[in-house]
Amino acid sequence: MPAIQLYSTPFSGHCHRVTLLLNMLSLPFEVKEAQADVRKSAEFLRLNPLGQIPVLVDDEHVITDSNAILVYLVKRYAPDSHWLPEDPLQAAEVQKWLSRAAGEVRFGPASARMVKQFSAPESLESARAVTAKFLPQLEQHLETHAFLATARATIADLACYSYIATAPEGGISLATYPAIQRWLTRIESLPGFTPLPALPLPEDEK
């Protein structure tokens, strides 16, 4: 059995970013399905008292928070790689986009998708407002950059990819953002890429 276990669900973008890196690093791992009932169990809450996914278990180590897991995996299994550069300025750029993934991406397109697909108790109006401000900024950046933080893909790209790629599932069109679409294609061309399972588009995005 693989030493690495990933507690996740199929449609979670937070889990998907971890799955992408595991696959791109060619690390064998076991998926442990963690639907809502599992996340409320005493066993799971011992792993993560917040009851959230993903959770990565690697031997005796338990790591929570998707971005923290990305950092851990690179530091342990791909040190000094392009995924998380040691150069101070490049490392700062990666961190900036990890913060964007936890901020504008999470509360913009990710939130809209959660509302549309899973009836999450979040504000669709707020999600659309955050997205409307963020996507033009992202488009402008990607007009002159192949990837978010450096000249090569980093964990910042993986952290932001999943919920940007699935923005249409939250009723948010990417049709007017050609640079973002080209960036998505570049991520999808990386060895080891696996897509999130598709969800039906809302009526306003068909």
Instruction: Read off the pLDDT of residues 32-58 as tens digits, 9 standing for 90 and up.
Output: 999 999 999 999 999 999 999 999 999
pTM of the predicted model, to two decimals?
0.95
| 79 residue type, one letter | P
In three-state secondary structure terms, 9 is coil
Q: Is the pLDDT of residue 161 over 90?
A: yes
Q: Report the mean per-residue pLDDT for the chain.
A: 96
- Alpha-carbon distance 34 to 40, whole Å? 9
Token pair belonging to 104: 């504008």
What does the pLDDT look like over 82-126, one tens digit per residue? Answer: 999 999 999 999 999 999 999 999 999 999 999 999 999 999 999
- CA distances 172 to 28, 72, 104, Å, are 34, 32, 14
Give me the count of residues in the chain. 206
Give yes or no for a contact between 111 and 171, defined as CB atoms under 8 angstroms apart.
no
CA-CA-CA-CA torsion sign (119, 122, 128, 130):
negative
H-helix or E-strand containing 4? strand 4-8
Q: Is the pLDDT of residue 128 over 70?
A: yes
- Alpha-carbon distance 138 to 69, whole Å? 24
